[in-house]
Amino acid sequence: MKVVTFNIRCDYNQDGNNNFQNRKDIILKKLYKEDADIVCFQEVLPHVASWLKENLRDYYILGCGREKDLKGEQNTVAIKKDKFQLISMNTFWLSLTPEVPGTRYEKQSMCPRSVTELFFQDLETEKVYYLLNTHLDHEGSEARVLGMDQILKHMKKTVEQKEQAGYGKIEMILTGDFNGYPDSPEIQLIEKSDFLRDLTSGMEGTFHDYGRMEPPEKIDYIVVSSGLECSEREIWKDCDNGIYLSDHYPVSVVLKNI
């Protein structure tokens, strides 16, 4: 199972030669070539979500906007229709009131932060998985720590409930732009957890600001539960005449059940 995390960069026509309109072709070419089973996007605006639906017809395109009217940026998950059966999909917010759209922690930027979560079943193996895709706050480590702590507690509780309900052993996948370096408190929460491990540990950085950030900052992650192992991992560094896939390098891993 090939899983990718991909901050596609919010499209406000602000990036000159690397505006989204100029990146569309290279993005689609790469996605078609790699043929990933699951792609977890961040910074997807409504018109980009529509574009994904128009062009990735072999995938379910799942997610909603993070604002109180369910518009704005979303953490979109693209999942192969012919490989997986979708069991459920939900969005919750990183806040004290996670079911209330657009809510956020007090010590946070003005941007609400949300999580797209889904349970799905592999049609061939009948194995059930739990996937979460998020984008943590870009301004404050405290908000990122609160958000990550909320996510980890939510994951553990939710999976325990599903397993007790009869779903069998469920493996977990957490992806996203966490906006934290590997040694930051928010990422250390993952390291200290007793049920997740970072598959991107030791990899190069991912945020490169269209080639201007050298070396790139490592802030994009794919984290999994203990029943999954990584057989391949790769950073997508494609660039065509100065046009990049995004201002972040996507990260791809191939997962296998242990």
Q: Write the pLDDT tens digit of every residue in 13-49.
A: 999 999 999 999 999 999 999 999 999 999 999 999 9
- Fill in the amino acid letter for 227: G
- Identify the helix (H) or strand (E) that includes residue 54: helix 46-55
pLDDT at 13: 94
Q: Does 215 sit behind a cis peptide bond, omega within 30 degrees of 0 on the bond before it?
A: yes
Predicted confidence band of residue 188 (pLDDT cuts 50, 70, 90): very high
Our count of domains for the chain comes to: 1
pLDDT at 2: 98
Q: How many helices (H) and strands (E) does the chain have?
A: 4, 14
Q: Which of 97, 180, 182 is nearest to 139 (CA)?
A: 180
What's the CATH number where 149 sits? Answer: 3.60.10.10
Q: What six digits make up the tokens of 7?
A: 């901050």
pTM above the 0.95 mark? yes
Show the domain range for 20. 2-257
pLDDT at 210: 98
In sequence order, the β-bridge partners of residue 59 are 80
